Amino acid sequence: MKKVTLFLITLLITIPLYAQENGMTSSSELVLQLSTLPEAKIGYTYTLRFPLLQGTSSLTEENNLKLHFTAELSPISLNGLVKAVLTPIAFLEFSAGARAGAGWPINLFGSDIYGTGFNLSGTDGRSVYEGSAFDALLWKTWLGGTFQFDLAAIVPGDWNHVVFLTYHEINYHANTKATKGETWYFENDDGENFNTYNYYGNFVIGYQMPIFLNMVALLAEMNYALHEHEVRCENVGMDLIQWHFSGILNFTVTEKISIALITQLRTRRNYINFDEHKDEKPFLHFTERKVNNSDPIRLEFYRVAAIATLKI
With respect to residue 54, please indicate whether it lies within any of the assigned structural domains.
Answer: no
The answer as to whether 201 is a domain residue is yes
Q: Is residue 287 part of a domain?
A: yes
Residue 215 lies in a domain: yes
**Residue 228 counted as domain residue:** yes
Residue 30 forms part of a structural domain: no
Total structural domains in the chain? 1
Q: How far apart are CA 148 and CA 282, in angstroms?
A: 45
Strand extents, DSSP E, the chain: 25-35, 40-51, 64-74, 77-89, 92-103, 105-108, 111-114, 118-121, 127-130, 138-150, 161-175, 196-208, 213-225, 242-252, 257-269, 297-311
Residue 60 lies in a domain: no
Of 208, 209, 214, 218, the C-alpha closest to 163 is 208
Residue 250 lies in a domain: yes
Kindly tell me the burial class for residue 87, based on how many C-beta atoms sit within 10 Å of its own C-beta (0-12, 13-18, 19 or more). Answer: buried
pLDDT in tens, the chain (312 residues): 556 556 655 655 565 555 555 678 899 999 999 999 989 999 999 999 988 888 788 788 889 999 999 999 999 999 999 999 999 999 999 999 999 999 999 988 778 899 999 999 888 888 899 999 999 999 999 999 999 999 998 999 999 999 999 999 999 999 999 988 889 999 999 999 999 999 999 999 999 999 999 999 999 999 998 876 656 656 778 888 999 999 999 999 999 999 999 999 999 998 886 655 555 666 788 888 888 888 889 999 999 999 999 999
Give burial (CB, 10 Å; 0-12/13-18/19+) of 107.
Answer: exposed
Domain with 281 in it: 90-311
